[in-house]
Amino acid sequence: MSTLPATQELRGGRRVRDWLGDRILFLLTLAAGLAGVGLLGLIAYRVIRGAHLAFSTFGLSFVWGTAWDTNKNVFGALPGLYGTAVTSLMALIIAAPLAIAIALFLSELAPRGIRVVVGSLVEMLAAIPSVVLGLWGILVLAPFVQDHLEPWLHGWFGFIPVFGQEGAAPGIFLAGLVLAIMVVPIVASVCRELFLSVPSELEEGALALGATRWEMVRGVVLSSSRPGIAAAVILGLGRALGEAIAVTQVIGAQWFIKASLFQPGDTLASRIAGQYQGAVSKLQISSLFYLAAILLVIGLVTNLLAQIVVRRFAFQRTGGS
């Protein structure tokens, strides 16, 4: 009889503990979640604040300014914007078809054992640190490009301005190649997941109607995955736009705009990385922040776009059935 109040008290104590535990865990994890959002905001705020001096000096004309003169303290972003656009575009033109083909091989063609091995090797390619890829790019790939690929392209397509003028190996062309290597595994792994999620009834239906495997892929797999492929390519673009280290190593770091891909150049990200020990004046450091702010805006817009496409597409695919 005398134990009853004690048990009740115990129960009460446990209820309080559970209530408290639930609250604490909820608040703790909520705080972490909000910290993630806050971090993104803090990054944007700090980068933009760092650009304040350059912004008040040059205004928006920094964006289309072409100078990077540390003696006269005049800075502009246009050559970097141009280099970023051209190298990323080149990387995508090379990497996107390759990556889609690899994803098709892995999802539709390869037998199980090979699929696992090749699939993990492609992911290993993504694991190679960019500084190592850049080292390889400048010391191994560059001589090859200079001795073989450049003369060949120049010889056949020299009448097109982009292949017009031969130069030293470090340059836009080499940077585009190295970026393509970095982008392929990203696009390939997203596309593979995408192709594997195509309902197999659709695929089998097409095959049962007498389509060849390629016709099935074209008519069912590719056409039903188009938005997803677009998102994968945009994600790859985001990676190419923002890569700093490997590009710095292979691009030649020249702040000018030349029509020929075989000339050196610079991207927004690689200029920031390349100036890591050379920045002296406050205005120059602030200009680097300004470049970073431009890159941040471009990067966020690109990734946001990819996420929106992914989300809408995932909704279509899962919400439909």
Partner 1 sequence: MAAVEPTLTLRGDGRVRRRRIANRVAEVLATVAALAAVAVLGIVVWSVAKRGAGALSWGFLTHDLPIPFSGQSGGIAPLIVGSAILVGLAAAIALPVGVCIAVFLEEFARPAVRAGIQLAVDLLNGLPSIIIGVFVFGLLVYGHPQNGWAGSIGLAIVMLPLVTRATQEVLRLVPRSQREGALALGASRWRTVLGITLPSALGGILTGTVLAVARAAGETAPLLFVTSIYGRTIELNPSHALPNLPVQIFIWSESSDPEDHKRAWASALVLILFVLATSLIARLALARFRRRMG
User: In the beta sheet, which residues pair with residue 32?
Assistant: none
Of the residues 85, 98, 230, 257, which one makes contact with partner 1 according to CB under 8 A: 98
How far CA 8 is from CA of 1, 14, 20, 21, in Å, comes to: 12, 10, 18, 19
* H or E element that contains 221: none
Query: Is residue 277 a contact point for partner 1 (CB under 8 A)?
Result: yes
Strand partners, 74: 69
Size of the site for partner 1 (CB under 8 A): 92
198 lines the binding site for partner 1 (CB under 8 A): no
Residue of 74, 78, 123, 230 that binds partner 1 (CB under 8 A)? 123
Return all residues near 196 (Cβ < 8 A) that are at least 6 apart. Answer: 107
Taking the complex as a whole, the smallest distance from the CB of residue 152 to partner 1 amounts, in Å, to 18
Which pair of tokens denotes residue 251? 């691009």
Quick one: which of 67, 162, 285, 314 contacts partner 1 (CB under 8 A)? 285
Which residue in 33, 143, 151, 155 binds partner 1 (CB under 8 A)?
Answer: 33
Other Cβ atoms within 10 Å of 276 Cβ, number: 10
DSSP secondary structure of 75-90: E--HHHHHHHHHHHHH
Cα-based angle 283, 286, 290 (whole degrees, multiple of 5):
130
Instruction: Please pick, from the candidates 9, 10, 26, 161, the single residue that binds partner 1 as defined by CB under 8 A.
Output: 26
Contact of 185 with 122, CB cutoff 8 Å: yes
Q: Which of 244, 251, 261, 283 binds partner 1 (CB under 8 A)?
A: 244
Work out how close the CB of 259 gets to partner 1 at its nearest, in angstroms, rounded to a whole number. Answer: 27
Q: Using N-to-C axis directions, what is the helix angle for 282-319 and 226-242, rounded to 10°?
A: 160
φ/ψ of residue 74, rounded to 5:
-120, 130
Query: Residue 148 interacts with partner 1 (CB under 8 A)?
Result: no
Q: Per CB under 8 A, which region of 55-63, 137-145, 164-172, 201-209 contacts partner 1?
A: 137-145
Residue pair 265/84 in contact by the 8 Å Cβ criterion: no
Q: Is 175 in the site for partner 1 (CB under 8 A)?
A: no
Tell me if 22 contacts partner 1 by CB under 8 A: yes
Residue 86 interacting with partner 1 (CB under 8 A): no
Give whichever of 251 and 260 is closer to partner 1, judged by the CB atom: 251
Site pattern 213..232 for partner 1 (x: CB under 8 A): xxx-x---------------
152 versus 214: smaller Cβ distance to partner 1: 214
Site for partner 1 in 291-310 (CB under 8 A): 292, 295-296, 299-300, 302-304, 306-307
Nearer to partner 1, 92 or 295 (CB): 295
Distance CA 108, CA 244 (A): 35
Q: Is 47 in the site for partner 1 (CB under 8 A)?
A: yes
Is 136 among the residues that bind partner 1 (CB under 8 A)? yes
66 binds partner 1 (CB under 8 A): no
> Smallest Cα–Cα separation from 134: which of 6, 244, 263, 2?
244
| Residue 199 binds to partner 1 (criterion: CB under 8 A) | no
